[in-house]
């Protein structure tokens, strides 16, 4: 079964949760974040530079993530993002919200067995 890429309109809503969930595990820079999301979602979710960075800056403004320049393993400078304590607090309710959302959508539109 091939995974069809999710349309940007739908994918955009999930970006917040996807980014926070990834950064809860480790610090990553922008390109790594987009690669990880792409790989872990089996290609269903794909964030371009244009969709990723405004979301990263917005999360940073809200104090949920923090970015700082560091050298990566190859000695090249990248801006790494990590989850802040506020971001950790925000992640659990966000996961619950999406859980409620999926259940509601499933009841409404029967998406599980589609």
Partner 1 sequence: MPEHTPDRRNATNWNEIVRKHLPPLDLPQKEAEEVITELAVHLEDVYEEGIAQGQSPSQARQTALDEIARPQTLVNDIARAKHQEGIMNTRTKHFWLPGLVNLATSMVSLAVVIAFAQPRVYFGQHAATTLYVYWLAILPLCGAAAAWLSRRLGGDRLACLASSQFTSGAWLVCFCFVFTVSMFFERNRVLTFTSFLLFTGNWVLLPGAAMLLGALPFLRSSGRAGTLVGRS
| Residues found near partner 1 in the complex (CB under 8 A) | 12-13, 16, 29-31, 48-50, 53-58, 61, 68-71, 76-79, 93-94, 97-98, 100-101
Q: Are 57 and 21 in contact (CB under 8 A)?
A: no
Residue 114 three-state SS? coil
**Least CB distance to partner 1 at residue 2 (A):** 19
- Helices 49-61 and 30-40 pack at an angle, to 10 degrees, of 110
What does the block give as tokens for 109? 């539109």
| CA-based nearest residue to 86, from 102, 109, 66 | 66
**Least CB distance to partner 1 at residue 33 (A):** 10
**Least CB distance to partner 1 at residue 32 (A):** 9
The residue among 3 and 71 lying less far from partner 1, judged by its C-beta, is 71
The residue among 1 and 7 lying less far from partner 1, judged by its C-beta, is 7
């Amino acid at each position: 079964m091939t995974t069809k890429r999710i349309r940007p309109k739908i994918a955009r809503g999930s970006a917040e949760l996807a980014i926070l969930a990834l950064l809860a595990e480790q610090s990553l820079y922008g390109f790594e974040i987009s690669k990880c999301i792409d790989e872990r979602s089996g290609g269903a979710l794909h964030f371009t530079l244009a969709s990723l960075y405004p979301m990263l800056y917005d999360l940073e403004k809200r104090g949920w993530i923090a970015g700082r320049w560091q050298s990566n393993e190859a000695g090249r400078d990248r801006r790494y993002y990590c989850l802040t304590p506020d971001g950790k607090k925000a992640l659990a309710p966000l996961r619950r919200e999406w859980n409620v959302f999926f259940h509601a959508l499933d009841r409404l539109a029967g998406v599980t067995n589609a």
